[in-house]
Amino acid sequence: MTQPYRITLLPGDGIGPEIMAVAVDVLQVIGQQFDLTFEFQEALIGGAAIDATGEPLPAATLETCRRSDAVLLAAIGGYQWDTLPRHLRPETGLLGLRSGLGLFANLRPAKILPQLIDASSLKREVVEGVDIMVVRELTGGIYFGQPRGVFATESGEKRGVNTMAYTESEIDRIGRVAFETARKRGKKLCSVDKANVLEVSQFWRDRITQLASDYPDVELTHLYVDNAAMQLVRWPKQFDTIVTSNLFGDILSDAAAMLTGSIGMLPSASLGARGPGVYEPVHGSAPDIAGQDKANPLAQVLSAAMMLRYGLNQPAAADRIEQAVLQVLEQGDRTGDIMSEGKNLLGCKAMGAALIQKLIIS
Ligand code: IPM
Ligand code: MG
């Protein structure tokens, strides 16, 4: 038996606990099959943490995460916390976790699965074969830039301010992750900015262009963000790896996710220079269906697979989980978000059971 992996579980809010339970069951079975042991520690974040402790990211949670090998997060947020002041909102807990662990690189794959082509709102010929990796900068840009706030001006009128700023080193480190990622994929990198208007974007473009000389095997292109949004829905197959700033990556990764039919299918990994990464679905906490056993647990399960691959260096175990997901889709099992005619509609728990069955029998 190998040394146990210490995994912090952050189920969070809404459908979080339901989908997390499925992912943990899957990891337990995978553990038995691959001779891996997991030591799970649960901690509070988001609305659940606000209710229990008064703050969205208790110090104890960050400490537990820091001491672990990887963090598996479900989702945060819900209507009941939306009116709280900013520093007490669930989202602030998530941003604190990202900056507290130094997770500057967010990898968001958007790959269309052949079984789900009909769930996409785009035509088959447009989405068939789409396989994009969005590399989003996660701890800088307008999400964290100073000054920020609402200030009184000299005339007495109030003015809201956020600042989009990037330093050389912030651009270089995300740029390198993106070039390395592209190198392992289709060797095409598209950097997205708004260099026709924003100085920070021109600076981003110049730095990324300079880095390119270290990666002669990767073809670098640049797009303005408005054009990139259009190209993503017009002809998504032109993209392999996309690198962009925090805000543009937030927006484009939702669009890229939807190409695949459901945001309920997509995992993500947030990585730093060292220390544990955070693995989480791209989707949110879906408070409208929370507690009703209707959620799609597959993005959470695929996030656990990304954790095995990127965080624990267990690619065979990750492959096995991804294969089981394809197998349940192949036999027609669907949750509501990816349902189409003639398929079997399952709840969250039943989808988990179907996955476990696939893992056990093959
Ligand atoms: C995401 C989410 C978060 C973000 C929110 C919940 C703060 O939209 O992970 O994409 O904007 O980064
Ligand atoms: Mg988002």
The model's pLDDT over 308-343, given as tens digits with 9 standing for 90+, comes to 999 999 999 999 999 999 999 999 999 999 998 899
Whether residue 194 is predicted with pLDDT greater than 70 in this model: the reply is yes
Q: Which two tokens stand for residue 159?
A: 């003015």
pLDDT per residue as tens digits for the range 139-193: 999 999 999 999 999 999 999 999 999 999 999 999 999 999 999 999 999 999 9
The 219-224 sheet, strands edge to edge: 38-42, 5-12, 70-75, 278-281, 267-271, 105-111, 131-137, 241-244, 188-193, 219-224
Question: Which residue, among 77, 15, 9, 10, has the nearest Cα to 45 in the 3D structure?
Answer: 10
List C-alpha distances in Å: 260 to 20, 28, 152, 153, 345. Answer: 22, 28, 45, 46, 19
Burial class of residue 149 in the structure, from the number of CB atoms within 10 Å of its CB (0-12 exposed, 13-18 middle, 19+ buried)? exposed
pLDDT per residue as tens digits for the range 69-110: 999 999 999 999 999 999 999 999 999 999 999 999 999 999
The ligand 1 atom at the shortest distance from the C-alpha of residue 253 is: 10
Amino acid 247: pLDDT: 98
Residue 19, classed as helix, strand or coil, is helix
Amino acid 3: pLDDT: 83
Ligand 1: which residue has its CA nearest to atom 12? Answer: 250
Residues whose CB falls within 8 Å of the CB of residue 285, separated by 6 or more in sequence, listed in order: 12, 13, 14, 15, 16, 46, 74, 75, 76, 77, 78
Amino acid 2: pLDDT: 67
Report the distance separating Cα 197 and Cα 52, nearest Å: 45
pLDDT per residue as tens digits for the range 198-237: 999 999 999 999 999 999 999 999 999 999 999 999 999 9
Q: Which residue among 250, 252, 263, 270 has the greatest number of ligand 1 atoms within 8 angstroms of its CB, and so is best to mutate?
A: 250
Amino acid 318: pLDDT: 97
pLDDT per residue as tens digits for the range 111-130: 999 889 988 889 999 999 99
Amino acid 261: pLDDT: 82
Q: Which two tokens stand for residue 317?
A: 């175990």
Question: Which residue, among 148, 146, 100, has the nearest Cα to 275 in the 3D structure?
Answer: 100
Residue 200, classed as helix, strand or coil, is helix
Q: Is the CB of 94 under 6 A from ligand 1?
A: yes
Mean pLDDT of the chain: 96
Q: What is the CATH number of domain 106-265?
A: 3.40.718.10
Half-sphere exposure of 12 (CA within 13 A, CB side): 34
Whether residue 22 is predicted with pLDDT greater than 80 in this model: the reply is yes
Ligand 1: which residue has its CA nearest to atom 7? Answer: 91
pTM of model > 0.85: yes
The domain spans of the chain are 1-101+276-362, 106-265
Q: Which residue among 94, 143, 270 has the greatest number of ligand 1 atoms within 8 angstroms of its CB, and so is best to mutate?
A: 94
Report the distance separating Cα 249 and Cα 212, nearest Å: 20
- Give 246's pLDDT tier (boundaries 50, 70, 90): very high
Q: Which two tokens stand for residue 53?
A: 């402790």
Burial class of residue 57 in the structure, from the number of CB atoms within 10 Å of its CB (0-12 exposed, 13-18 middle, 19+ buried)? buried
The ligand 1 atom at the shortest distance from the C-alpha of residue 280 is: 9
What CATH architecture is 1-101+276-362?
Answer: 3-Layer(aba) Sandwich (3.40)
Amino acid 187: pLDDT: 98
Amino acid 79: pLDDT: 95
Amino acid 228: pLDDT: 98
Domains 1-101+276-362 and 106-265 share a fold: yes
